[in-house]
């Protein structure tokens, strides 16, 4: 029912720390216990399967708590299916990433209090008021659900004074707003408290908050009929099954409001599962955002130039797309890092470090690596010390700490050393302009940077600038970043050589030049076959060459 990758992405929106200051700061806020509990659970969501299992387990626990509060000793199980209905709608609400996971833990706290309240026999009013206040402090506006459900339970016992709980919950919210413990009065009383503050909350997220008290009301109303327990059980099951239809529809609406497929890409990129990322991107390679992740994965496997035209490439926006907004773009941070533009990567990673829920672990790791490259070890130590307090990242952080204040180790490391050698012309935040200009700065600073070299050549190939491809090959071929010539580059160079001779009459970069700059005899033979096939095809793309650069150059519109 829920996208497992969307759930897993929540782990990248917060970093749970086993740190006294962090724990106290979280706990001593309105809804602090719910927030802290949610973050503790979400830290395990780095595994999508675990994310689904834990979420379903908590939803099931909530249904059990609700059933325990409203059950009847004469027919305990007859109304159990009813208790799953609010949680089906809550699961639909959680399908939207802007709805914080703390909404689920807040419900669990409120229903735990309702279970306790249902067992109280003496001094119910005063204890109910105290429970309402405690739930508000621990879980926020979910206290209104507790108050309303407790009042419904007492209504059937003809205890009218418990309606006071609702007034107490509203008063607690008003007081929290007056004391600036909640940002708005709406957030103090409604599910907007658990939704991203800068995002308008769709009306669909109100549904579970209305369904829960209605479920309590239905459970209480059904008790006179529990002598026919099989009939009540059948009715409960039927209502639950019917409720799944709108719940699934709400899931689809939530997914339509967010780029769900991006969560899958980001999961593979964050965990450096490049084969998984390539497999995920195969179905939509022509979409620019998908192509960027696909080409990122190919680059990290050292296969960008060799394999990129095996997929449906449609211009340079599938490689990198500059944006004036450098505030929140995790994918762009990954791409800049892969390109070797560490200044731009640091700029984006720093701006993307914080979310409404906390620190982003992937961006913390990137910032730590870049500070190690720069030699600013004190700053890198701060990032690594934070990661060291998170169980999932502890081992990685300790390994990286071995580079602190050890220039020789940094320079010997393939990734960190490569980044350090690229800093001479990047020591300062880059202003985004033409992506190729940024790439050429990195290549000029460190021609051995294979990632930057591949991205620069790929950008030229995708823009069909074969003249610049040839010039770059002429300048850098034979150096560590371009010791051999990938086949698509050979095809571009050979095509330009033929074009220059036929159109301009120049033979400066003729067959001999091509042979000494990495163009193989096999590529020359295939080019001759391609030319013959093109003449025979009557202007159509010849068969058998769809993965060649020549096909992209002549028959693909960008």
pLDDT digits (tens, 9 = 90+) for 448-507: 888 899 999 999 999 999 999 999 999 999 988 899 999 999 999 999 988 887 776 555
Query: Is the CB of residue 107 less than 8 Å from the CB of residue 62?
Result: yes
**Is residue 429 over pLDDT 50?**
no
**Is residue 431 over pLDDT 60?**
no
The average confidence (pLDDT) of the chain is: 88
What does the alpha-carbon distance between residue 325 and residue 372 come to, in Å, rounded to a whole number? 26
Backbone φ and ψ for 419, nearest 5 degrees, come out as: -65, -40
pLDDT at 219: 84
Tokens of 318: 């599938």
pLDDT at 62: 95
pLDDT digits (tens, 9 = 90+) for 301-319: 999 999 999 999 999 989 9
Place of tokens 């002549």: 554
pLDDT range class, residue 233, cuts 50, 70, 90: confident
CB atoms within 10 A of CB 258: 16
Q: Is 272 left (phi over 0), alpha (psi -120 to 50) or beta?
A: left
Q: Where is average pLDDT lowest: 204-213, 254-263, 385-394, 508-517?
A: 254-263
Cβ burial 457-469 (10 Å sphere, 16+ → b, else e): bbbbbbbbbbebb
Ordered DSSP codes for 110-145: HHHHHHHHHT--SSHHHHHHHHHHHHHHHHTTHHHH
Give the range with max mean pLDDT: 95-109, 335-349, 430-444.
Answer: 95-109
pLDDT at 459: 95
Query: Is the CB of residue 421 less than 8 Å from the CB of residue 449?
Result: yes
Tokens of 186: 């709406």
Q: Output Rg (C-alpha) for the chain, integer angstroms.
A: 30
Instruction: Provide the β-strand partners of residue 359.
Output: 354
What is the domain partition of the chain in residue ranges? 4-258, 435-555
Tokens of 499: 């074009």
pLDDT at 428: 47
What does the alpha-carbon distance between residue 400 and residue 288 come to, in Å, rounded to a whole number? 34
> Across residues 168-182, what is the average pLDDT?
93
Element (H, E) at 532: helix 521-536
Tokens of 320: 């990198």
Q: Where is average pLDDT lowest: 457-466, 503-512, 542-551?
A: 503-512
Angle at 131 between CA 126 and CA 137, to 5 degrees: 135
Count of alpha carbons within 13 angstroms of residue 131, beta-carbon side: 30
pLDDT range class, residue 342, cuts 50, 70, 90: confident
Angle at 64 between CA 60 and CA 69, to 5 degrees: 150
Q: Where is average pLDDT lowest: 131-135, 166-170, 295-299, 448-452?
A: 448-452
Which DSSP symbol is given to 99?
A: B
Long-range contacts of 347-350, Cβ-Cβ distance < 8 Å, separation of 24 or more: 347/429, 347/430
> Across residues 388-411, what is the average pLDDT?
95
**Is residue 73 over pLDDT 70?**
no
Q: Which residue has the higher pLDDT, 445 or 83?
A: 83
What does the alpha-carbon distance between residue 448 and residue 4 come to, in Å, rounded to a whole number? 40
pTM of the model: 0.88
**Is residue 430 over pLDDT 60?**
no
Q: Is 405 left (phi over 0), alpha (psi -120 to 50) or beta?
A: left
pLDDT range class, residue 433, cuts 50, 70, 90: low
pLDDT range class, residue 74, cuts 50, 70, 90: low
For residue 38, give every residue at least 6 positions away whose Cβ sits within 8 Å of its Cβ, in sequence order, or none. Answer: 100, 101, 102, 104, 105
**Is residue 542 over pLDDT 60?**
yes
What does the alpha-carbon distance between residue 193 and residue 9 come to, in Å, rounded to a whole number? 21
């Amino acid at each position: 029912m829920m996208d497992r990758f969307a759930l897993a992405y929540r782990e990248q929106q917060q970093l749970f720390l086993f740190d006294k200051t962090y724990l106290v700061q979280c706990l001593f806020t309105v809804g602090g216990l719910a927030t802290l509990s949610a973050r503790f659970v979400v830290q395990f969501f780095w595994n999508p399967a675990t994310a689904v299992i834990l979420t379903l387990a908590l939803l099931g626990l909530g249904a059990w708590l609700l059933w325990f509060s409203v059950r009847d000793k004469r027919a305990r199980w007859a109304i159990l299916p009813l208790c799953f209905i609010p949680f089906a709608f809550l699961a639909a609400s959680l399908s939207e990433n802007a709805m914080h996971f703390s909404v689920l833990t807040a419900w669990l706290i409120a229903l735990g209090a309702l279970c306790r309240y249902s067992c109280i026999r003496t001094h119910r009013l005063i204890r109910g008021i105290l429970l309402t206040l405690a739930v508000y402090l621990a879980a926020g506006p979910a206290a209104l659900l507790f108050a309303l459900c407790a009042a419904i339970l007492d209504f059937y016992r003809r205890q009218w004074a418990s309606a006071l709980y609702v007034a107490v919950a509203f008063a607690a919210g008003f007081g929290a707003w007056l004391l600036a413990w909640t940002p708005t009065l709406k957030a103090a009383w409604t599910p907007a408290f658990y939704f991203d503050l800068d995002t308008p909350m769709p009306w669909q997220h109100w549904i579970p908050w209305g369904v829960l008290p209605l479920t309590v009301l239905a459970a209480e109303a059904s008790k006179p009929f529990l002598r026919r327990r099989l009939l009540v059980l059948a009715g409960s099951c039927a209502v639950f099954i019917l409720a799944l239809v709108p719940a699934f529809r709400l899931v689809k609406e939530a997914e339509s409001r967010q780029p769900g497929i991006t969560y899958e890409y980001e999961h593979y990129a964050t965990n450096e599962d490049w084969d998984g990322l390539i497999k995920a991107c195969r179905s939509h390679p022509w979409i620019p955002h998908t192509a960027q992740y696909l080409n990122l994965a190919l680059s990290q496997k050292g296969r960008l130039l060799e394999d990129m035209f095996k997929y449906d490439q449609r211009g340079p926006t599938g490689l990198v797309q500059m944006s004036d907004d450098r505030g929140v773009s995790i994918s762009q941070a990954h791409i800049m890092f892969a390109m070797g533009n560490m200044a731009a990567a640091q700029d984006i990673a720093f701006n993307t470090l914080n979310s409404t829920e906390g620190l982003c672990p992937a961006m913390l790791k990137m910032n730590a690596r870049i500070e190690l490259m720069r030699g600013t070890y004190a700053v890198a130590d701060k990032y690594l010390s934070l990661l060291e307090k998170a169980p999932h990242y502890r081992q990685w952080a300790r390994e990286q700490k071995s580079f602190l204040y050890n220039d020789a180790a940094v320079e010997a490391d393939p990734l960190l050393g490569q980044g350090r050698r690229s800093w001479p012309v990047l020591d300062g935040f880059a202003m985004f302009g033409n992506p190729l200009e940024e790439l050429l700065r990195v290549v000029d600073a460190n021609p051995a940077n294979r990632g930057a070299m591949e991205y620069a050549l790929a950008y030229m190939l995708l823009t069909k600038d074969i003249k610049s491809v040839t010039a770059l090959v002429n300048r850098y071929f034979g150096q560590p970043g371009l010791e051999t010539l990938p086949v698509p580059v050979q095809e571009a160079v050979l095509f330009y050589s033929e074009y220059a001779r036929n159109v301009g009459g120049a033979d400066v970069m003729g067959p001999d030049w091509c042979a000494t700059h990495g163009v193989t005899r096999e590529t020359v033979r295939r080019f001759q076959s391609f030319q013959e096939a093109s003449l025979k095809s009557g202007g159509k793309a010849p068969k058998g060459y769809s993965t060649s650069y020549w096909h992209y150059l002549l028959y693909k519109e960008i």
